[in-house]
Amino acid sequence: MKLLFILSIYFVILIPKGQTQSCCSGGVPVSSNIGFQSTEAHIFQLNISADFNFLKTLKSEGQKLDDDQRLRTTQSYIIRGGYSFNNSLTFEMLFPLIRQTRRITTLGGTNIQENTFGVGDPLALLIYNFLYKDVVFRIGAGPQFPLGDYDQKNSQGLTLLEDLQPGSGAWDVILFGSLEYQLKNRPSSFFYLNTIISKTGSNPNSRGGFQTYEFGDDIQIISGFSDQVLFLGQIITPGISVRYRHADRDKVDQNKLPGTGGDFLFGKISNSFPFPKLKSSLGINFELPLWTRVNDTQLSPSFAINISWFKSFNPQLASSTIIDVNEKF
């Protein structure tokens, strides 16, 4: 009953506050990458990843339209680091580098293409961890900093729309909640449930300072399971997960913007190749939309690919090893 009570509090606190921002560029939220697995004290974790997201499916609400003249791609190169001060408190940061492309093919076969590239909005999280009946609970919060460009221009010198910009120009608040569980009869297995909420801010300097723009509020719920197995003499870590995302409409001067926001359900299969001696791993993920319902008519995700490299180490042990080596000489 106590575990049920804690789970209830978890969802009551986090999920109803879904009045949040997409914290992303091009409708692909980089915040879905946050949330290292809990670890012991004084461990530094580093993850470098490349996300390739393709949006080619034109939809009107839940109906797919017969139109292949539009293509949108978002490439996010993300550096993520985390450090556990002790068994209860961890700190995490994420730095994105974003390239976006929008291509429209006219009836005459001409391609009209716009591109942007730059640093996105980084974010920081302070996370509190606690253990209850073999379940690790994690609750965190932190800001997303408006460091990315929001005023890049096209070849004609016109400012591109906000959904193509690397940054939002607004301060956001990220809320994070997670639970993790390892099966007692199989410690190599791992189940997790993450809730990620981004509380939006507004950019009063949008569109040359003439309008205030606010990205749609956003909530994501990600649940998955992974396990270590032996395959052809190699240890691998296959996994499967689902991700639900709700995004509210964007706003211009507090007026809701048509053709923005919606509800999305994705399925992901993943595989990780661990290198235990190096305390690192190489991961590959492939994500597909299972169900989509957008507001009005807009491009929706078609598929996404993620490639990542992960490394963990204890800086204190590394420094003590250097001291021991120096003392020998």
CA distance 61 to 259: 10
Percent of the chain scoring above 90 in pLDDT: 68
Average pLDDT taken over every residue of the chain: 86
Mention every residue, 6+ apart, whose C-beta is less than 8 A from residue 108: none
Q: What per-residue confidence (pLDDT) applies to 318?
A: 55
CA dihedral 7, 9, 10, 15 (to 10 degrees): 120
Give the ranges where 172-243 is alpha helix by DSSP (H): 206-209
For residue range 299-313, what is the model confidence (pLDDT) as tens digits?
999 999 999 999 998
Per-residue pLDDT, 18: 36
**How far, in Å, are 29, 299, 300 from residue 61 at the CA level?**
20, 10, 10
Q: How many C-beta atoms lie closer than 10 Å to residue 255's C-beta?
A: 10
Q: Give pLDDT tens digits for 113-154.
A: 999 999 999 999 999 999 998 899 999 999 999 999 999 998
- What's residue 16's pLDDT? 41
When pLDDT is averaged across residues 61-83 and rounded to a whole number, the result is: 93
Q: Quote the CA–CA distance of 150 and 159 in Å, as a whole number.
A: 9
Phi/psi at 297 (5° precision): -125, 125
pLDDT band, very low/low/confident/very high, at 28 (cuts 50, 70, 90):
low
Judge whether residue 102 has pLDDT over 90: yes
Helix (H) or strand (E) holding 218: strand 218-226
Let me know how long the chain is. 329
Three-state SS at 207: helix
Higher pLDDT, 206 or 277: 206
pTM of the model: 0.86
Q: State yes or no: pLDDT of 326 exceeds 60.
A: no
Q: Average pLDDT in the 73-90 region?
A: 95
Residue type, position 286, single letter: F
167, burial (CB in 10 Å: exposed 0-12, middle 13-18, buried 19+): buried
How far is it, in rounded angstroms, from Cα 47 to Cα 310?
A: 4
Residue 34: partners with Cβ closer than 8 Å, 6 or more residues away: 80, 92, 94, 123, 125, 174, 176, 196
What pLDDT score does 44 carry? Answer: 95
Tell me the pLDDT tens digit for each residue of 35-52: 888 888 999 999 999 999
What is the C-alpha separation between 167 and 93, in angstroms, rounded?
A: 16
Asked if 36 contacts 47 with a C-beta cutoff of 8 angstroms, the reply is yes
Domains and CATH numbers, the chain: 2-328 (2.40.160.40)
Model pLDDT, residue 328: 37
Tell me the per-residue pLDDT of 238-293, one tens digit each, with 9 for 90 and over.
999 999 999 999 999 999 999 999 999 999 999 999 998 888 999 999 999 999 99
- DSSP reduced 3-state for 115: strand
- Which distant-in-sequence residues (6+ apart) come within 8 Å of 124 by Cβ? 91, 92, 93, 94, 142, 143, 145
Q: What was the pLDDT predicted at 81?
A: 96
CA dist., res. 259 & res. 297, Å (int): 6
Assess whether pLDDT exceeds 60 at residue 216.
yes
CA distance 323 to 313: 17
